[in-house]
Amino acid sequence: MHGHTPSDTPETEASHHIERRARYGLVLFALYLAIYGAFVYLNAFAPAVMAAQVGGVSLAIVYGFGLIAAAVVLALLYDFLCRRLHA
């Protein structure tokens, strides 16, 4: 990914995989950043929204749990994509 041409490294296939994994990582990172960014934005600029009730509790709680769950789910998805690459 640092300008290696295939002849640079003996493991041509590995460097191809490295680039694919990096791309998966960036896409998932951008996705999470959007969810986290929206959370921070709402807290700062529309704090009343965070007090709204969703399923009997505040949106702040639901969104907070959602962020933690999203991190775990995206992490597992990333692992799945990386392993499929090697299969």
Closest distance to other proteins from the beta carbon of 16 (Å): 14
Helix (H) or strand (E) holding 54: strand 53-54
Q: How far apart are CA 17 and CA 72, in angstroms?
A: 23
Torsion angle (degrees, nearest 10) of CA 76, 81, 86, 87: 90
Q: Which of 20, 34, 38, 64 binds other proteins (CB under 8 A)?
A: 64
> Under the rule (CB under 8 A), what is the footprint of other proteins?
1-3, 18, 21-22, 25-26, 28-29, 32, 36, 39-40, 43-45, 47, 50-51, 53, 55-58, 60-61, 64-65, 67-69, 71-72, 74-76, 78-79, 82
